[in-house]
Structure 1
């Protein structure tokens, strides 16, 4: 009860400091009660209190007013309370251009929307992996090398395997997947990602995998066998650590964010420009400049996708659309030139929000019209932004 009263007090304080002060008491009361009820229902009380108490309302609202004056954008308020978990959109994010929607589920690593199957290429055949199925992965010789269960594929130590065999896992748009390698290394794979890896690592030498897309690595420590992740432009070498690699073709950089431990980052072709990253740093190969750039970052912004979160911080609209296409397995056509040059900050959860929910929330920041057309069976949805 005390937490509920504290939440209400903080939200009322925000009302007095923001554009909501012009709304009717009843309208604000209805919104507050539904918002608080949803926060409690989704078990987000502690997180919400921390978020609200940490806001600099005056600073954020002044920033909004300055931006509105400069761009001559009319203030917009939601015509209805969003029925999905749109936390703080109506109170805070109306003004400062930051949307935080969804329940941040730290336990579930779930598939996204329905779409194509995850596929496993063993060299001898290609297997479709169903989210609700399970089966054993075998070599042509008959040995079982891995077991698939739901959205996870686990390889055994495979000590009896003599041949050096590679498998390739493809994660389509709209899906997420977890892979455990023969050495125990755990890899979370994001939508639109491909990874090539050996069924068994060599007893001596380097443990190497090849990745296109985005993956979060929790590498099993082995001082005698460095772990190397290769992409088109970058090679990352570690002994045992946690880091995120993002190397989608439609991005301007190949980015590595270190969570703990240490990694050495170098150009894949010449091995030069080797840079040692510290926890909390992002090392990025700038495709345009042809150099590696290092900066300190908020790690959670780059790793939240493992738990279903999709986060944007001052992201160009084109980059945001490309990410939504991967996340929800949709095709987006934008004919609204007025928003192409704008940037967006947003946070949502693919396990909770549908593509329609995300578009509704983004419309609060910048007005636009959209239409979602359901594809035929097995086909992508089409989204048209006007």
Structure 2
């Protein structure tokens, strides 16, 4: 079936094969309508929209334009949605359901983080009630119910400006949090990440240090540039929106610009590049800095509540799963040389994601050993 769908997308099908695919599409649509699941509908629309947009190569016209997207659904990560429709309609689950039902499921990540104040005090934010939770210099720190931390300036007598204090927000694996800094800049912190920042009104620059991944919406202040120090580079901005991914276990640091302009300085050789919106800079382990045009929505999908795979190798996918689901991923034998593309919502349990991956001929399962869960891929 997958070979047929690939030929259809490439425009290499015979008339009989085209008719077969188009008949399949009509059946899929009728079954989807019968299921009438709101979340399923959203998944199909999202996948179809992204796939239609990605079909840029000129091909012969299809009888139904949406058929191309539906065909690609089975080839990309959203293939699991198709089998989910068949399962709900027929009552016959695919084999992967049997495989994954042998162990307890793994819930997705949530809004959890730890705040470290300047004096070393650590506050577990998920244990705190909403409202004011601490002071930092002339700022009061507030936590709200949506996983957000906000610094609000209070009346100051000026004494705090002499000695700026440093705060740090850290998310564990399986955590995420949002932060509004004293200058009004907003930060979305991904799982297994840490942001360290100074609280000061008089500093000539706004310097933060990032480990892991974060999306920034920087408040404009021409007199005080905003700098992000991460693994081997410094990102310099005045006011803009961008994403930095600098996990220690990733082979490169990626900086993606959504709006405005940023300059990236490579700290070993002091080379720099200036990005325009839609560009991504990659700093590899050999300190080589390169720039490419990308789809920004792929890079910031996590901030919008999605796990995104765009021609990602299985090891990159495994790292995402490990961080978000707070679980180790183990490979047994040599993993298939497969590239995965597509998106799935981050509020999905791990078993559903693994069920989808299994349709790439990957043997995926959840194991429990002495009470400790792990994902196994072989």
Aligned to 1:348: 344
Structure 1 residue 384: deviation in Å?
2.2
Residue matched to 1:237? 236
Any conservation in 1 of the 2:351–2:366 contact (CA below 8 Å)? no
CA shift, 1:268, in A, is: 2.9
Partner of 2:84: none
- Structure 2 length normalisation: TM-score? 0.75
Deviations 1:296-324 (A, max 9, x none): 00000001111111111111111110110
Q: Quote the residue 1:266 is aligned against.
A: 265
Distance change >3 Å, CA 257–CA 250, structure 1 → 2: same
Distance 2:229 2:193 in 1: 13
Cross-structure match for 1:228? 227
Q: Residues of 2 paired with 1:23 and 1:240: CA distance?
A: 50
CA distance in 1, matches of 2:349, 2:342: 15
1:143-222 paired onto structure 2 within 5 Å: 145-150=140-145, 151-157=147-153, 160=156, 161-162=160-161, 163-198=163-198, 200-222=199-221
Moved more, 154-163 or 312-321: 154-163
Q: Which runs of 5+ in 1 are unaligned?
A: 1-14, 62-87, 103-111
- Which string of whole-angstrom CA distances, capped at 9 and with x for unpartnered residues, describes residues 161-215 of structure 1? 33310011110111111000000000001001001011x2342511100000000
* In structure 2, C-alpha distance between the alignment counterparts of 1:256 and 1:58, rounded to whole Å: 27
**Number of aligned residues:** 326
SS in 2 for 1:166: strand
Relative distance call for 1:43 and 1:24 in structure 2 (3 A) is closer
Asked whether the equivalents of residues 51 and 72 of structure 2 are also in contact (C-alpha less than 8 Å), the reply is no
- Unmatched segments (≥5 aa) in structure 2: 1-15, 61-66, 82-106
CA distance in 2 between counterparts of 1:356 and 1:290 reads: 38
Evaluate the alpha carbon distance shift between residue 119 and residue 48 of structure 1 in structure 2; reply closer, same or farther with a 3 A threshold. Answer: closer
The two structures have a TM-score, normalised by structure 1, of: 0.73
What is residue 319 of structure 1 aligned with on the other side?
316
**Residue in 2 aligned with 1:92?**
71
Superposed displacement of residue 275, structure 1: 1.1
Partner of 1:383: 375
Instruction: Please give the alpha-carbon distance, in whole angstroms, between the structure 2 residues aligned to 1:129 and 1:238.
Output: 29
Of 218-227 and 316-325, deviating more is: 316-325
Is it true that 1:123 corresponds to 2:118 in the alignment?
A: yes
Query: Cα offset for 1:331?
Result: 1.5
8 Å contact kept, 1:17–1:58: no
CA RMSD, Structure 1 to Structure 2 (Å):
3.6
- The one-character-per-residue Cα deviations of 1:330-366 (angstroms, maximum 9, x if unpaired) are 1121214242x32221311112x11100000111122
Q: Equivalent residue for 2:104?
A: none
- Residue 98 of structure 1: how far off its partner (Å): 4.1
Could you say if the C-alpha distance between residues 367 and 34 of structure 1 is closer, same or farther in structure 2, counting changes exceeding 3 Å? farther
Give CA-to-partner distance per residue, 1:199-256, whole Å, 9 cap, x none.
Answer: x234251110000000000000000000000012110000000000000011111111
Change (3 A) 1:28 1:57: farther
Residues 1:375 and 1:39: Cα distance change in structure 2 (over 3 Å): farther
* Contact map agreement 1:204 1:224 (CA 8 A) in 2: no
Deviates more, 1:294-303 or 1:114-123: 114-123
Q: Quote the Cα distance in structure 2 between the aligned partners of 1:225 and 1:382.
A: 46
Contact 1:231 1:268 (8 Å CA) reproduced: no
8 Å Cα contact 2:109/2:324 also seen in 1: no
